[in-house]
A and B are shown apart, each in its own frame.
Chain A
Amino acid sequence: MKLLDISNLSVKFSGKRTVHAINNVSLSMEQGETLALLGESGSGKSVTLKALLGLLPPKRTQIDGQVHVNGTDVLGLKGKALQKYRGGEVSMVFQEPALALDPVYTVGHQIAESVMRHKGIDKANAMATALDMLDRVRIPSANRRLHNYPHELSGGMRQRVMIALALACKPKLLLADEPTTALDATVQIQILLLLRELQKEFGMGVIFVTHDIGVAVEISERVAVMYAGQIAEEGTTREIIRDPRHPYTQGLLAANLHDVARGARLNAIPGAPPALESKPDSCAFAPRCPVAMPECRAALPPVFEPGPRRRVACLRANEPIAAE
């Protein structure tokens, strides 16, 4: 059974302004895979995560399509079943652990609470699990830290606690929403390596949302590049880095400045992403694309599949090298 199967998911927010945040996204994951959702602000990567957790506000949101996690129809879940699913089957690590942890409870209490609720075990056992989890996220002197409040911990430590909390109920799928963006470089790499180890240890699937292509390389086996609420390109990390086919992916790689000559003029992608007030009916990247053709502005681009589980939504993807 597939761990994750999203088919034709569309999310539209209506309110003062209409935003077509996600447009016909299909995505699948096998058990135990690590997938990076790469994109800039407004690309729909965080909304995808929220849809997976059933966190979108039902009043202003119109959701179409199917989302299955381990065979469960997520969009159909309600009440108790939804609560059981969140935190049990799927859990999430947020960008700001300082905001996601409850300041009035000790970290041990918070982890134990979650375990008790989902596993129905008693307090003593739950605390033992909490201690074990703090050990597993490599928190030194975990016994003492169990009784600390979140504000007594450093940023990196808090993010470890957040991960312990998310993994306490052994989820099949871990969602990570830019969990290292707020951290310093030397702490970020520690958390990335920790997540990589824990993923192997627990055998879970991970969806890692990030805007930083370097982070995606460190954490994931596969990458899906999102733009304007659509998937522009998908493939293994190696394929995306070594052989990017979509002009947007190529632009993002160039903008990383990893191997740009000092002072040389940067090949910047012009303009800014679209506001998505209407559903894209042609290639959403065409207005910024250096190699766009009239056809790109006429209709949605076809999806090419150069290899197994590899796809590129670009008219010129099958040309040998699309970039100039």
Chain B
Amino acid sequence: MSVTDYTPTIDTGGPAQPLLTVNHLRKYFPVRGGILGRTQAQVQAVDGVSFAVAKGETLGIVGESGCGKSTTAKLLIGLTEKDAGEIIFDGHALGERLSLKDLRRSVQMVFQDSYATLNPRMTILASVAFGARVQGLEDPEGLARKMMDRVGLDPNRFAHRYPHELSGGQRQRVNIARALAMSPRLVVLDEAVSALDKSVEAQVLNLLSDLRAEFGLTYIFISHDLNVVRYISDRILVMYLGEVVEIAPVDSIWQEQAHPYTRSLFSAMPSMDPDNRTQTPPLAGDPPNPIDPPKGCRFHTRCRFASDVCKAKTPSLAGLARNQAHQVACHLYDSTSGHPQAGQGIPA
């Protein structure tokens, strides 16, 4: 694959305009029950999520199950229909100047389960060429062969094989080739390396870095593995129960996690030090059910620093005093919030 075969859509806004902007994205899933199948409750999967991804940047999204990170990914490429909010790709709002089909030409996704995402009855070549064919690109099969070659799968050996004849690492390469065959500008990687064995994971991460540099890609990298996210991302976004609690450049957040939840999440990482093992768990219990999330700050039920204001008022994202690019949604950092330790941050 040479760069000339890669034909992404034209950059309209220049480097200063974010490639993707998401404003107040919301998705509630109804929980139906009873004989009439009436909506009895709503899973607040994604609630008021806003962020922007700059061109060429990699944004990592972390959080635990039920935090809404995978739903966010599916909303971004319209696999799940959003209830409210705006998705703006390179200056064009989805549904206004940008159709879903055009968006999907420029935004592609790689899923976690490398086997389930491939049609078991289609050859690798047919799977990789499918998207290019749908989008009406020239010579989809030739494109597919080149892209297979680029991700390290010899087309002469693999083109006519079926997914079950490949190893997990090879299948994930196929998925990456399929996404890239349409020359997207943004690739959403939803736990794309999580199911792989550690040794294979490193190979795929190397490949992803190479492709990013070669084709000038922008990534949204969703993972539960903080080490992997740190390695590949420029900025990290932390979600909890459908909301963004913190978003910051990697170095800044690695140095100091502002939100109490982020801090717990980081302390829950294995220590990797046999002489200094973790002694107390940072949090007790499981994350609450997103069907009926706590009022106010959603983390207040598990937060050591929670006060009355946290139960009543939802904090909004704001930049830290030491670094405006490091944003956190916590009353501890807002001097006007009315929290007893308002404006002081997490006590040392």
User: 1/0 per residue B210-246: CB within 8 Å of A?
Assistant: 0000000000000010111011100000000000000
Within 8 A of A (CB), among B223-274: 224, 226-228, 230-232, 250, 264-265, 268-274
**Is the pair B270, A184 in contact by a Cβ cutoff of 8 Å?**
no
**Is the pair A260, B231 in contact by a Cβ cutoff of 8 Å?**
yes
**Is the pair B286, A157 in contact by a Cβ cutoff of 8 Å?**
yes
Interface stretch, picked from A122-130, A162-170, A267-275, A316-324, is A267-275
**Is the pair B200, A272 in contact by a Cβ cutoff of 8 Å?**
yes
**Is the pair A269, B282 in contact by a Cβ cutoff of 8 Å?**
no
Q: Nearest residue in A to B264 (C-beta to C-beta)?
A: A186
A203 at the interface (CB under 8 A from B): no
Q: Nearest residue in A to B229 (C-beta to C-beta)?
A: A257
Given contacts A211-B197, A237-B274, whether A186 and B282 have CB atoms under 8 Å apart is: yes
CB proximity of A107 to chain B, nearest CB, Å:
16
A262 at the interface (CB under 8 A from B): yes
B199 at the interface (CB under 8 A from A): yes
Q: Which of A211, A256, A265, A270 has the most CB of B within 10 A?
A: A256
Given contacts A41-B197, A189-B268, A257-B228, whether A241 and B202 have CB atoms under 8 Å apart is: no
A155 at the interface (CB under 8 A from B): yes
CA distance A105 to B180 in the complex (A): 49
A258 at the interface (CB under 8 A from B): yes
Residues of chain A within 8 A of B227, CB atoms compared: 256-258, 260
**Is the pair B203, A156 in contact by a Cβ cutoff of 8 Å?**
no
**Is the pair B284, A238 in contact by a Cβ cutoff of 8 Å?**
no
CA distance A256 to B284 in the complex (A): 26
**Is the pair B282, A238 in contact by a Cβ cutoff of 8 Å?**
no
B287 at the interface (CB under 8 A from A): yes
CA distance A187 to B198 in the complex (A): 21
**Is the pair B231, A262 in contact by a Cβ cutoff of 8 Å?**
yes
CA distance A108 to B9 in the complex (A): 60
CA distance A192 to B268 in the complex (A): 11
B149 at the interface (CB under 8 A from A): no
User: 1/0 per residue B12-50: CB within 8 Å of A?
Assistant: 000000000000000000000000000000000000000
Within 8 A of A (CB), among B271-297: 271-275, 277-287
**Is the pair A255, B271 in contact by a Cβ cutoff of 8 Å?**
no
Pick from A218, A254, A257: contact of B270, CB below 8 A.
Answer: A218
A251 at the interface (CB under 8 A from B): yes
CB proximity of A30 to chain B, nearest CB, Å:
18
Residues of chain A within 8 A of B232, CB atoms compared: 263
B169 at the interface (CB under 8 A from A): yes
**Is the pair B231, A184 in contact by a Cβ cutoff of 8 Å?**
no
A188 at the interface (CB under 8 A from B): yes
**Is the pair B274, A267 in contact by a Cβ cutoff of 8 Å?**
no
Given contacts A217-B270, A262-B250, A263-B231, whether A272 and B65 have CB atoms under 8 Å apart is: no
A96 at the interface (CB under 8 A from B): no
Residues of chain A within 8 A of B316, CB atoms compared: none
CA distance A157 to B289 in the complex (A): 13
B205 at the interface (CB under 8 A from A): yes
B206 at the interface (CB under 8 A from A): yes
**Is the pair B202, A267 in contact by a Cβ cutoff of 8 Å?**
yes
Given contacts A193-B281, A251-B199, A267-B202, whether A184 and B287 have CB atoms under 8 Å apart is: yes
How many chain A residues touch B (Cβ–Cβ < 8 Å)? 46
Pick from B199, B277, B281: contact of A217, CB below 8 A.
Answer: B277
Residues of chain A within 8 A of B250, CB atoms compared: 262
Given contacts A263-B231, A272-B169, whether A186 and B274 have CB atoms under 8 Å apart is: no
CA distance A268 to B200 in the complex (A): 7
**Is the pair A184, B205 in contact by a Cβ cutoff of 8 Å?**
no
**Is the pair B270, A190 in contact by a Cβ cutoff of 8 Å?**
no
B64 at the interface (CB under 8 A from A): yes
CA distance A265 to B212 in the complex (A): 13
CA distance A166 to B273 in the complex (A): 29
CA distance A190 to B270 in the complex (A): 11
**Is the pair B198, A255 in contact by a Cβ cutoff of 8 Å?**
yes
Residues of chain B within 8 A of A257, CB atoms compared: 202, 227-228, 230-231
**Is the pair B209, A265 in contact by a Cβ cutoff of 8 Å?**
yes
Q: Nearest residue in B to A252 (C-beta to C-beta)?
A: B198
**Is the pair A241, B268 in contact by a Cβ cutoff of 8 Å?**
no
A212 at the interface (CB under 8 A from B): yes
**Is the pair A217, B273 in contact by a Cβ cutoff of 8 Å?**
yes
Pick from A237, A263, A269: contact of B202, CB below 8 A.
Answer: A269
**Is the pair A185, B199 in contact by a Cβ cutoff of 8 Å?**
no
Pick from A218, A242, A270, A272: contact of B271, CB below 8 A.
Answer: A218
CB proximity of A217 to chain B, nearest CB, Å:
6
A113 at the interface (CB under 8 A from B): no
Given contacts A41-B197, A252-B199, A266-B206, whether A189 and B282 have CB atoms under 8 Å apart is: yes
CA distance A41 to B199 in the complex (A): 11
**Is the pair A190, B281 in contact by a Cβ cutoff of 8 Å?**
yes
CA distance A324 to B124 in the complex (A): 37
**Is the pair B286, A156 in contact by a Cβ cutoff of 8 Å?**
yes
**Is the pair A268, B206 in contact by a Cβ cutoff of 8 Å?**
yes
Q: Which of A186, A187, A242 has the most CB of B within 10 A?
A: A186
A214 at the interface (CB under 8 A from B): yes
Pick from B199, B270, B273, B274: contact of A268, CB below 8 A.
Answer: B199
User: 1/0 per residue A263-292: CB within 8 Å of B?
Assistant: 101111110110000000000000010000
CA distance A40 to B200 in the complex (A): 10
B80 at the interface (CB under 8 A from A): no
CA distance A241 to B274 in the complex (A): 8
B335 at the interface (CB under 8 A from A): no
A134 at the interface (CB under 8 A from B): no
Given contacts A185-B269, A187-B286, A257-B228, whether A268 and B202 have CB atoms under 8 Å apart is: yes
**10 smallest A-B Cβ distances: which pairs?**
A214-B270, A268-B202, A184-B64, A154-B286, A269-B199, A40-B197, A257-B227, A255-B198, A190-B281, A266-B202
Question: Can you list 24 A-B pairs with a CB-CB distance of less than 8 A?
Answer: A155-B65, A186-B64, A186-B264, A186-B281, A190-B284, A217-B271, A217-B273, A217-B274, A218-B271, A236-B274, A238-B274, A241-B272, A241-B274, A254-B202, A255-B201, A256-B198, A257-B227, A260-B227, A262-B230, A265-B206, A265-B209, A268-B199, A268-B205, A272-B169
